[in-house]
Amino acid sequence: MWINADLGEGCAHDEDLFKIIDWANIACGGHAGDEHSIRLACMLALEHGVQVGAHPSYPDRTGFGRQKPMSPPAQLLGDLKRQMELFESIATKLGCSPAHFKPHGQLYNDAAFQPAEAEILIDLARAFPHLKLLALAESPLVAWARSAGVEVVEEAFPDRAYLSTGALAPRSQVGAVLHDPLQVKAQAALILRGGPLKCLDGSSRVVSAQTLCVHGDSAQALDNAKAVRAAITEHEQDMFNGAD
């Protein structure tokens, strides 16, 4: 199981997070980030052997990518392509080999369930066929993208609460973001062993994924990442001991 994190967003813990994670999703100008921050993140990734990928978003720096634009689909797709091209140009010049991309914020959540936004991401993936798409585990986007021939990696969130639909609980709801590293570790452990997560609406849901995300913009990001790494290590030890 890999840990991925959304980085290059001007937050405090990036350098230390690169020592813990496996994959970095690097902001590339839509909601945060610029040429300098992309370059710095890629250099840290090279130093720590971390796989890099682009983290494009709705063009909304004021709202941190959480405001859907009114622009037509073709215009939005063009903007996302420019973000990806900027990232790929800088990363490859430094010697990185981008291997994935992950949409950010509201774009991520919209595309997970809404066909129009999903189609934009599928078109974006077709424009960058060497990249895997990170998507919300078990969401409709996973099936839609795979049907279109896009390679998808399903991800889950130890630091976010879920709804019964499999969607992430909106950040506006109390309890949507998990701040306690012990709680984050416990949720990571449940995901790893296939146990039911208690959803924010009172239901339970099992979430299966290939990678776990830790948000780099949280004040507890570093402690949360350490907690998730500990959960993975303990799970792997349990699996090994069970094999004996």
Give the domain ranges of the chain: 2-243
Task: Please give the CATH topology (third level) of the domain spanning 2-243.
Answer: TIM Barrel (3.20.20)
Q: Is 101 helix (H, G, I), strand (E, B) or coil?
A: strand
d(CA 227, CA 100): 24
Count Cβ neighbours within 10 Å for each residue of 46-85 and write b for 16 or more, e otherwise. Answer: eeeebbbbbbbbbbbeeebbbebeeeeeeebbebbeebbe
Reported as a single tens digit per residue, the pLDDT across 32-59 is: 999 999 999 999 999 999 999 999 999 9
Reported as a single tens digit per residue, the pLDDT across 195-222 is: 999 999 999 999 999 999 998 888 889 9
Look at the chain and count its residues: 244
If you compute the radius of gyration of the chain from its CA atoms, what whole number of angstroms results? 17
Reported as a single tens digit per residue, the pLDDT across 131-146 is: 999 999 999 999 999 9
Let me know the angle formed at the C-alpha of 82 by 78 and 85, rounded to the nearest 5 degrees. Answer: 135
